[in-house]
Amino acid sequence: MTITYQALTIGNADVFYREAGRSDAPVILLLHGFPTAGHMFRDLIPILADSYRVIAPDLPGFGNTKAPPCGRFDYTFDALAQVIAGFIEALKLDRYALYVFDYGAPVGFRIAQAHPERVSAIISQKTATLISRGLAAHGVRGRPTGANRLPSTVRRAATRSRRRRSATGNISMVPIQAGFRPTATSSTFSTWPVPERTKYSSI
């Protein structure tokens, strides 16, 4: 298994990313939290790469991604989501699962809201309470079962990675269901400004 390190220019940001796995394999996009970068997934990437194409970008303002200073770039979750959406378009990804952690959640869920038909599943780490509230608001309750359950490979890999790093928090895995839309409620992620009209409870 080989991890490649590349960068794509998206607007005024040079998005650095790690990638591993076969190019024709199902895609999992890993969105990191604060104050980390794609490097936080260094143990998870090799585990998933046997079965998936794994892509882990560094968000603008984190890791090796180059972005303009404050005043020349709007450091909001909306702006971060726009950059990552452009990154997804540049890679021509039309179907993918989102693995979101902490700050990656409000970014990933904006992407899911914009194109729910492209998202095969959401794997949430350290956002479990917020996700359950959002799903309950849409009548989705209980644990996914049967055909709606994520592949066992992803579940086992997430569990193994979590055991290696006990501080990473709980992991919830939620497949996207037909007609699902993220709910717009107040955000608990208040470190960066988020416009009132697009505040989310992570989902």
The reported pLDDT for the residue numbered 102 is 87
> Which candidate, 140, 110, 120, 102, places its Cα nearest to that of 203?
110
SS (H, E, C) 87-102: HHHHCCCCCEEEEEEC
- The low-confidence residues of the chain, meaning pLDDT below 70, are 127-203
The reported pLDDT for the residue numbered 168 is 40
Domains delineated in the chain:
4-198 (3.40.50.1820)
Percent share of the chain, pLDDT over 70? 62
